[in-house]
Structure 1
Amino acid sequence: GKRFDRVRLFGTIGYSITALISGIMLKYGFVSIFIMATVSLSTVALVSRTYPTGRKLKRSDEEIDRSSLPLQFYLLLLAGVASITIGAFGSTFLPVLTSERGFDVSSAGFAFSLMAFSEVPFLFFAEKVVERFGNTRLLVIGIFATGLRWFLTSMATSFPIFLLLQMLHGINYIVVYYSVMNYIHTRFEASKTTRALTIYWMSTTGLSYLLGSVLGGVLIRAFGIVRVYTATGITGMAIAIFFSLLFAALHKRTAFTNR
């Protein structure tokens, strides 16, 4: 079907547990991380072999829709790329920030674990939340929350406050990800869905993380990590306001939908 909240939920729980254990094991040296990764990936490989292999299907030309995707998709994609780029920067350099603040070496692991667990409440009620707010409004909320999180994180000098702020992750990436994915799966027929998903994943997993890590590293080297986190947070909130106004204007004048 078109529901993928439960699948994502179990992945989130697994990621959270792994991050928590990694943070604890890091105290015993980096070798322990490689050992844990080897055991985990070997287990995945063994378990995956128990699943039946489906036969490959070749679609006919009639089943492949080569018509252009709607403008709304590309606008949601652009907003998603901007948000995930900001999120990728913050997550990539979070261990560096914890070191800059003088927190314990395991603090990044605890932070990532808490970040993953914070997604669970949304995933339990994702369908109802989307129905209540709509995909575009939810996307804007996710972008603004991402900016707010990094802005506040840049000012956190206490580890407990730093950890609490990472709970905002529960309305960051997962909300942006889910709103765009839900739009694709509910608005497009199967003939267009694959192409839309390909463009989405290439843009976010590829472009966003590349920009977030590479450009972020350059900016941190030039201006310092705290300043860049602050500027990134402000930029994220400004982007959210811009897209909110843009979506509202398009909704009044065109067939642009909040759903």
Structure 2
Amino acid sequence: MVSKQFFRLSTNYFWYFGILGLVVPFLSVFLDGRGFTSLEIGEILAVITATKIVAPSLWAQLADRTGKQLTIVKVGALLSLLCFSLIIWTVSYWPLMFSLAMFSLFWTAILPQIEVMTLNSIRRSAKIYARIRLWGSIGFIIAAMVSGELIERYSTEAFSYIGMAILAGLFISTLLSKQPRVANKALVDHVSIKAKVFNGNFLLFFFAGLMLQMSFGPYYVFFALYLKSLTYSGFLIGIFIAIGVVAEIGIFVFAAIFFKSFSLKTLLSISILFTAFRWFLVGHYAESNIALAASQLIHALSFGLYHSASIAFIQKHFNTNQQSRAQAIYIGGVYGVGGAVGAYVAGILWQDGLGAVATFDFAAITALVGGILALFLRTQFIERKATSSG
């Protein structure tokens, strides 16, 4: 692959996941600073996450029909920047929820198209994909650490301006990108996507991922507030979050070794089962720096390895001209529904910090169920699909 294209794709991931490095840890801190209750914070996060149910599918259908993923990425980046900027002036519950929901509606349209563009550019090489994707992790780390320091030094309102700067960087990077050429674009798809979606093995994969993302609800909504209540500084909170992403980078760098040594079923099930243990540690031993650091290291499995394995599963299960729709179904269903339900339940259980342990116990049990479902995946079916589609 041409080095310029590698740089362009990596830059897109850097800025896209940079905004995640701000929003995931510090959106709840920002909303808490605005005076919202834990239930209201949970509701806002649930609505934001729920936009992933609809938005990716709508944009993906357009992308699959036109093949112009880059145009969608550019429009999504611009509109997400404009909508996010509104939070500076929207302070009450409903206007703020609307601004953040519209931001998420356009922002979620970006990732599936970036994934497809990247995979088309690198001819579906898992090794090169991992190297490009790790720049997203680097962007997340830098954003989390810098944001934690700036928010603590100035105020929670710094959140708005940091987000605008990152989204501006994302929009500029999309303007410098180029649409990759796709070979055999006219290839006829003889198998409907509906049949593949309702395939038993895919449904097991889908619901295992759904339970995993539900378990992430307490982490995405309240983790930073939880650590803040335990007297961790803003910079230290950023450090702990960065530990998880550094571990994630290690997985992306050495992903090829894992894929050669283990089946997708093993990688998926182990990733989810270890996540259950991770939430148990967070809920019961977060006062310990060592236990908290250990729980964050497991992020290498619960996100990094799981994400790489799930992308590989989707590549093997669906045909080339189904990839955008498949990514949209996966993100909309697993991340959208799972994340929204997880965030909403977390808001109910949290009770302004009094239910912290119960909330992370809920996360641990949910992940455990997902891991058990993944154990029933049929590895031979996955490999047979890979052979027949290749």
- In the alignment, is residue 124 of structure 1 matched against residue 253 of structure 2? yes
TM-score relative to the length of structure 2: 0.58
Worse-matched range after superposition: 62-71 or 87-96: 62-71
Shift of residue 80 of structure 1?
1.0
Residue 89 and residue 65 in structure 1: after superposition, are their counterparts in 2 closer, same or farther (change >3 A)? farther
- In the alignment, is residue 46 of structure 1 matched against residue 172 of structure 2? yes
Q: Provide the rounded CA distance (Å) in 1 between the counterparts of 2:302 and 2:171.
A: 31
Q: Equivalent of 1:162, from 280, 292, 298? A: 292
Residue 243 and residue 258 in structure 1: after superposition, are their counterparts in 2 closer, same or farther (change >3 A)? farther
Query: Residue type of the partner of 1:2?
Result: R
Residue 55 and residue 124 in structure 1: after superposition, are their counterparts in 2 closer, same or farther (change >3 A)? closer
Shift of residue 242 of structure 1?
4.8
- In the alignment, is residue 26 of structure 1 matched against residue 26 of structure 2? no
Deviations 1:35-59 (A, max 9, x none): 3222222233223222346799xx7
Alignment-derived partner of residue 36 in structure 1: 162
Alignment-derived partner of residue 6 in structure 1: 131
Matched position secondary structure for 1:103 = coil
Residue 64 and residue 35 in structure 1: after superposition, are their counterparts in 2 closer, same or farther (change >3 A)? farther
Shift of residue 243 of structure 1?
3.6
Alignment-derived partner of residue 281 in structure 2: 152
Give the alignment of 1:26-175 within 5 angstroms.
26-28=151-153, 29-52=155-178, 62-63=188-189, 65-66=191-192, 68-69=195-196, 70-156=199-285, 157-175=287-305
Q: Equivalent of 2:331, from 201, 221, 227? A: 201
Query: Residue type of the partner of 2:227?
Result: T
Worse-matched range after superposition: 76-85 or 101-110: 101-110
Give the alignment of 1:229-244 within 5 angstroms.
229-244=360-375
Worse-matched range after superposition: 12-21 or 30-39: 30-39
Shift of residue 258 of structure 1?
7.2
Q: Provide the rounded CA distance (Å) in 2 between the counterparts of 1:53 and 1:22.
A: 32
Matched position secondary structure for 1:51 = coil
Name structure 2 gaps, 5 residues minimum.
1-122, 385-390
Q: Equivalent of 1:219, from 349, 372, 385? A: 349
Residue 180 and residue 27 in structure 1: after superposition, are their counterparts in 2 closer, same or farther (change >3 A)? same
Deviations 1:113-159 (A, max 9, x none): 22211101110111221221111111111111111101011122123
TM-score relative to the length of structure 1: 0.84
Name structure 1 gaps, 5 residues minimum.
none
What is the number of equivalent residue pairs in this alignment? 252
> RMSD across aligned C-alpha pairs, in angstroms?
2.8
Asked if the contact 1:81/1:204 (under 8 Å) is kept, the reply is: yes
Q: Provide the rounded CA distance (Å) in 1 between the counterparts of 2:163 and 2:291.
A: 30
Query: Residue type of the partner of 2:124?
Result: K
Identity of aligned residues (%): 20
Asked if the contact 2:273/2:368 (under 8 Å) is kept, the reply is: yes
Asked if the contact 2:272/2:306 (under 8 Å) is kept, the reply is: yes
Worse-matched range after superposition: 72-81 or 90-99: 90-99
Deviations 1:182-215 (A, max 9, x none): 0121343213333322211111231121011111
Deviations 1:68-125 (A, max 9, x none): 1032122111111111221233232201221332322444322222221110111011
